[in-house]
Chain A
Amino acid sequence: MSAWTPVCRLADLAVERGAAALLATSGEPEQIALFRMTDDEVLAVQQLDPYSGANVMARGIVGTRGGELTVAGPVYKQVFSLRTGRCLDAAGYTPRYGLPGDLTTYPARVVDGVVMVGSTGETSGGMRG
């Protein structure tokens, strides 16, 4: 996890509202969703919503469940942990196209007002990596 890619300025992100970004490392750029919290921490997960197959996670509603920061899938309302990517509530659906039901998370940090995202994705369940 050595490569940090600058993606945007913190000021480009609205508080508690996601934004999609392209993460160019090597090969195809990855689509990620960035979330700026009330304390200006930034969390990053995959932009692909496994339950709809559409690239929309950044457009979900941010909130908490039992103290855990969450984002709700905007299409079929699954709830995911923003920190671990784990699906906390599948809302009665199964993922599309055999996709893993949890989200890949990306390490993210803010340096001098710039949002940096780690180049290596991780999943909570270790299903892919």
Chain B
Amino acid sequence: MVAQRLVEALRTRDTGTWRVTVFAEEPRRPYDRVALTSYFSARDASQLALGDPALWEDPLVTLHLDRAVVAIDRESRTVRDRLGHVTPYDALVLATGSSAAVPPIEGADLGGVFVYRTIDDVAALRGWVTAQEAEAPTVRGKKRPVRGAVIGGGLLGLEAAGALRAMDAQATVIQFGTHLMDAQLDLGGGQALERLIRARGIDVRTSTATAAFRPRRGTRDVGRLDFAGGGRLDADVVVLATGVRPRDELAREAGLEIGPRGGAVVDLTCRTADPAIYAVGEVACIQGSCIGLVAPGYAMAEVVADQLLGGQGVFPGADTATKLKLTGVDVASFGDAHGRTPDAVEVVWADPVAGVYKKLVLADDARTLLGGVFVGDAEPYASLRPLLGGELPGDPSAFLLPAAADGAAKPEIALPDDATVCSCNNVTAGTIRAAVTEKGCTDLAGVKACTRAGTSCGSCLPLVKRLTTTELAKAGVAVSTALCEHFDLSRAQLFDAVRVVELRTFSAIIDRFGRVPDGADGPGRGCDICRPVIASILASLGSGHVLAGEQAALQDTNDHALANLQKDGTYSVVPRMPGGEVSPDGLIVIGQIARDFGLYTKVTGGQRIDLFGARIDQLPEIWGRLVEAGFESGHAYGKALRTVKSCVGSTWCRYGVQDSVGMAVNLELRYRGLRSPHKLKLGVSGCARECAEARAKDVGIIATDKGWNVYVGGNGGFTPRHAQLLAEDLDDAALVRTVDRFLMYYVRTADRLQRTAAWIEEVDGGLDGVRAVVMDDSLGIAADLDAAMAAHVAGYQDEWKAVLDDPEKLARFASFVNAPSTPDPDLAYVLERGQRRPARPGEREAVLVAGAVLPVLPVRTETAR
């Protein structure tokens, strides 16, 4: 990871002085070890890829996979790799990291005893657990679960225990120290964490030393643990997570100085005693110790890149702040978490019932922040950590107390410019402010692109956003959320306003909430921005047919024609095929209609069929036949639910663990017709192989053998995004409730044309905030959201059927008001691959012309004469 960052930093700034060769021990490109646990759910190593893969295509960068360097010759400045190739260097950077330490416990070499460090380790562990599961005896009609033990109660041990639980194995964490995460947390924090970990079904034994691993009778596989104080524990699998050891063997053999606990000793420029050799990351012994965290490693990478380019950068000191990413458990600590500074004072807030423990460590002036511990609620962490070493504004306890019911605001924190906001990319508050004040960035996306803040793990995004907004406001740049010239309200504000005052017509809404420009006597009649927004809001609030009354004039042409406008002014028609399921009879009907109307036919990415080239006057006839055959609108034309894509699932697939098609059909029928700020796509996969590509959808649902995992915020398109995990192992009812609330919360609060990914970034609290609202009802609106979705489901009607039943709406599909069935005479087509397509300018002479008969005019004005 650190090597990748170094190459990236060097290639970003260097204009071609350095040619970089990277020797990697593993047979794969550098990957995100911090996210290793996610490999359990994703099972796709490529999702752990780091940075832009184009880095490795750079002509000045050579990456040798599976070719560890075995020796350094400092005399001749060459390295020899595993294959015996000798490569010369001008500068050599050791970024060999560390390996998992195997404690000297008897039996550590037995089968079923694993370390937890690389993708291969994780894959081997998973394979072992799966095999044990198959062999496990059946007790009283139920399979006995696989029993797992994790040696070590630190960050890594807890991650490993979580991974075991994710595989349905039992997990017991054995901690030698007095409490969990004792390197980062004090006793109180560790005990609070233990309660939270137990609540996740993980057993914990503290102050326990393991004396030996014993094999199962007649095998060399682990069967139980014997503890030093007596007592034993049966286990089918053991994970060792007792620490890491720097991979300093190359440095040792090259005669470089090695630190007291290993690691190549370097100065603050990350250089060893040999001026041509640097060490970065976990293998570097800097300021007397090796640091097993990624942020300081990245900082070292930046220092070396700077030094190589002739800069004067030095290591700023380790930021050892930690935030545990074990799903559902918030743990964070920074600075002097144990209060070891002489005369330090501690302010503690503990709520054992809620499982919350928060502590600030202050200097003896009771103002200067020295450190902090947060368990169960890490919300203050992001804003307090950058204040480390500075003075707290206001009463320290105010930062720890839960938000008061009367809404008393917490003290505003003004970060000093040198406070690090994004520790992944080492971006300070000052840099973010400068992005606004000097570089002219006007929104979060601009600041992210300009500074790289929040582009790695994303945990600092709420803070980056707040800084950006504050700075924009200070600079007098009005952060306008106004919809358009007709409304000062944002879409979300307008949605609430319309919902609360129960206005149901555009005229009433613009009269009440529209902006009246200076000198004008009224708010105007809207535009192509606010009219469709209000149409969408009215539709989301269940205000009848989209073409009913005044609403019809608000719709974009697609919604107005209930079809998708194409470049020549004709439309495409997409009947709904829930879950991508279609009967042979249905396919035949569609084929006959396409043939009868000469429609160009193509299968869409959403597992349905698109019929192109329908004239507006043909739409009612086409839909008459589709509705008769049992089809209904697919809403391909709307900012609405499009499709729920599915794989074939457990009904047919050898590997499927749930009925993904059944669930997809169920969800598509539930959410069909739901209007939203932008299009909505869902996907359901029947197993972790993810054939439905659900994580590229706004809501992706992936089957587990216990239920369903829900991912949110994915999309394809211009800025592809993978959906992020919202909730795990839900049963059918919980899944539907979760998706109901997520979608309705999005519909109500997102901006116009904001997909779910961008919305999750912008909405209060980010993904965690969304999770709190959807899963824990933190805003107390869940019942309201549930009721709104229930009303949507109950009120659904097929828009096309309703049009066919209503002569007034049908009249809107005339080609010409005075010649309703005369086709547009300018339409022209040519044949290509057996189907027609619009003629290009040069082809218009030699084409099949669509309406060969010229209309007789005027046809409907007799009464006027």
What residues make up the interface of A, taking CB atoms closer than 8 Å to B?
A: 5-9, 12-17, 19-22, 24, 29, 31, 34, 38, 52-56, 59-67, 69-70, 72, 74-75, 77, 79, 97, 112-114
Contacts and interface: CB of A to CB of B under 8 A. Distances in A.
A1 to B, nearest CB: 19
Contacts of B567: 52, 54, 75
Contacts of B817: 7-8, 12-13, 19-21, 34
Nearest to B815: A20
A9 B816 contact: no
A12 B860 contact: yes
A16 B549 CA distance: 11
Contacts of B596: none
A62 B855 contact: no
Contacts of B855: 22, 29
21 contacts: A7-B817, A8-B858, A8-B861, A12-B811, A14-B552, A15-B550, A19-B814, A21-B818, A22-B857, A53-B568, A54-B569, A55-B569, A56-B565, A61-B527, A62-B553, A63-B525, A67-B520, A69-B525, A74-B556, A79-B527, A97-B841
Given A6-B865, A59-B561, A64-B525, 12 more contacts: A7-B817, A8-B858, A9-B863, A17-B552, A29-B854, A55-B826, A56-B557, A59-B557, A59-B565, A61-B557, A64-B524, A75-B565
Contact of A74 (B531, B557, B819): B557
Nearest to A61: B528
Contacts of B561: 59
B524 A63 contact: yes
Contacts of A6: 858, 861, 864-865
Contacts of B569: 52, 54-56, 75
A72 B528 contact: yes
A63 B526 contact: yes
A65 to B, nearest CB: 6
B517 interface: yes
Contacts of A72: 527-528
Nearest to A112: B864
Nearest to B808: A14
Contacts of A34: 817
B721 interface: no
B818 A22 contact: yes
A14 B527 contact: no
A103 B531 CA distance: 23
A22 B517 contact: no
Given A7-B861, A31-B824, A61-B531, A14 B557 contact: no
A62 B528 CA distance: 7
A24 B819 CA distance: 11
Nearest to B616: A59
Number of chain B interface residues as a range? 35 or more
B824 A55 contact: yes
B816 to A, nearest CB: 5
A114 B528 contact: no
Q: Which 8 A-B pairs have the closest CB atoms?
A: A54-B569, A72-B528, A24-B857, A114-B864, A64-B524, A63-B527, A74-B557, A61-B528
B749 to A, nearest CB: 25
A47 to B, nearest CB: 9
Interface string B661-688: 0000000000000000000000000000
Interface of B is mostly: loop
A28 B569 CA distance: 20
Contacts of B550: 15
A77 B174 CA distance: 64
A64 B526 contact: yes
B532 interface: yes
B553 A15 contact: yes
B780 to A, nearest CB: 38
B33 interface: no
A84 to B, nearest CB: 17
* Most chain A CB inside 10 Å of its own CB: which residue of B525, B815, B841, B855: B525
A64 B812 CA distance: 23
B822 interface: yes
Given A31-B824, A97-B841, A79 B528 contact: yes
Contacts of B553: 14-17, 62
A72 to B, nearest CB: 4
Interface in B486-536: 486, 517, 520, 524-528, 530-532
B560 interface: yes
Interface in B576-634: 616
B485 interface: yes
Contacts of B815: 20
B557 A21 contact: no
A62 B816 CA distance: 18
Nearest to A34: B817
A53 B561 CA distance: 19
A13 B816 CA distance: 11
Given A29-B854, A74-B556, A97-B841, A65 B485 contact: yes
A72 B556 CA distance: 10
Interface in B325-384: none
A61 B565 CA distance: 14
A25 to B, nearest CB: 9
B858 A38 contact: no
A21 B820 CA distance: 9
Interface in B819-865: 819, 822, 824-826, 841, 854-855, 857-858, 860-861, 863-865
A12 B859 CA distance: 13
Nearest to B521: A67
Nearest to A114: B864
B857 A61 contact: no
Given A6-B858, A21-B816, A31-B824, A63 B557 contact: no
B860 A67 contact: no
A12 B569 CA distance: 22
Contacts of A15: 550, 553
Contacts of A66: 485, 517
Nearest to A32: B816
Contact of A61 (B532, B841, B860): B532
Contacts of A70: 527
Given A62-B553, A66-B485, A74-B557, A7 B527 contact: no
Contacts of B520: 67
